[in-house]
């Protein structure tokens, strides 16, 4: 499948999710019931309920971590959230950057942007904005942000080299990112790799952890550190929708795993 076709799938499915409630959305890792052809599995294991700035209207239960928790955000920072969705991590980040900082969310799904802006209107905040754009080619200026965060989004981006190159470009010298994402240890069975439904559900778009870290370093980032790592277990009844029992046994024998990780890295230079 071509990269542009994959992007259209992601836009369509996350457009559907934007129209659902959190309870409907978190019933499966790609959102509303039925959108994944029977995949009903939640990736998110972290709770936002006690996090300052948490906005229940903006929380669709789509994350795989809490990147703001490890992002070393400071008051006055200019922060960018990649794949900001309904704005949940933006509102959390805004509670940290305060009145003197600024938060920008970028997303390429119109329905998500619409939902985020409606959530923003309710708050009255003047230092958050949401822009439409592709993470592989962001309509943002060079050296603009102190911090970049993202939550379970970059695994859905076909060209991760371009994505991390763009992150490097928009960060100020000395700036850093904190990203929660899904990675693999070992190769997933081919049928899972090819399943577009699983791709939009955050699994088939994932790559090997070592390759993921290598891409980050190749773009020039330093101080690369995995802050948190958590195994994601997919039940057999879900795997059987995409593969056979014998393949599942082989999958487990080889200890092939799916993990959510939260990783930090820094752009060289001084601010």
CA–CA distance, 61 with 9 (Å, rounded to integer): 19
Structure tokens at 234: 């997919």
Q: Where are the beta strands (DSSP E) in 217-256?
A: 222-232
CA–CA distance, 122 with 128 (Å, rounded to integer): 12
* Residue in the structure block whose two tokens are 């487990």: 252
What is the pTM for the complete model shown? 0.86
Is the pLDDT assigned to residue 224 strictly greater than 60? Answer: yes
Can you give the CATH number for the domain in which 107 is found? 3.40.50.150
Classify residue 151: in a domain, yes or no: yes
Structure tokens at 145: 């942000």
Q: Where are the beta strands (DSSP E) in 186-256?
A: 207-208, 222-232
Q: Which domain holds residue 223?
A: 3-266
Is the pLDDT assigned to residue 259 strictly greater than 60? Answer: yes
Classify residue 271: in a domain, yes or no: no
Cβ atoms within 10 Å of 203's Cβ, excluding its own: 27
- Number of domains observed in the structure of the chain: 1
Classify residue 236: in a domain, yes or no: yes
Structure tokens at 11: 């836009």
Percent of the chain topping pLDDT 90: 54
Q: 86-101 pLDDT, tens per residue? A: 999 999 999 999 999 9
Q: 128-176 pLDDT, tens per residue? A: 999 999 999 999 999 999 999 999 999 889 999 999 999 999 999 999 9
Classify residue 204: in a domain, yes or no: yes
Nearest to 183 by CA among 156, 159, 162: 156
Classify residue 246: in a domain, yes or no: yes
């Amino acid at each position: 499948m071509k990269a542009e076709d994959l992007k259209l799938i992601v836009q369509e499915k996350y457009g559907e999710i934007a129209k659902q409630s959190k309870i409907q959305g978190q019933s499966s890792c790609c959102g509303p019931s039925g959108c994944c052809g029977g995949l009903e599995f939640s990736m998110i294991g972290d709770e936002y309920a006690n996090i300052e700035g948490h906005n229940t209207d903006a929380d669709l239960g789509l994350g795989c971590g809490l990147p703001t928790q490890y992002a070393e955000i400071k008051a006055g920072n200019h922060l960018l959230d990649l794949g900001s969705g309904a704005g949940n991590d933006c509102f959390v980040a805004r509670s940290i950057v305060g009145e003197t900082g600024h938060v920008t969310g970028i997303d390429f799904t119109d329905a998500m942007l619409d939902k985020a802006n409606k959530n923003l209107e309710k708050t009255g905040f003047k230092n958050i904005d949401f822009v439409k754009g592709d993470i592989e080619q962001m309509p943002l200026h060079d050296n603009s942000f102190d911090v970049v965060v993202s939550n379970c989004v970059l695994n859905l981006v076909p060209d991760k080299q371009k994505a991390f190159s763009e992150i490097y470009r928009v960060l100020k010298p000395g700036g850093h990112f904190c990203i929660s994402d899904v990675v693999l240890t070992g190769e997933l069975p081919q049928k899972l790799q090819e399943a577009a439904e699983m791709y939009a559900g955050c699994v088939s778009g994932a790559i090997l952890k070592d390759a993921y870290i290598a891409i980050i370093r190749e773009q020039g980032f330093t101080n690369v550190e995995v802050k948190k790592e958590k195994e994601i277990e997919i039940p057999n009844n879900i795997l059987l929708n995409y593969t056979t029992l014998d393949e599942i046994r082989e999958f487990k024998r080889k200890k092939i795993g799916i993990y959510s990780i939260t990783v930090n890295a820094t752009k060289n230079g001084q601010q």
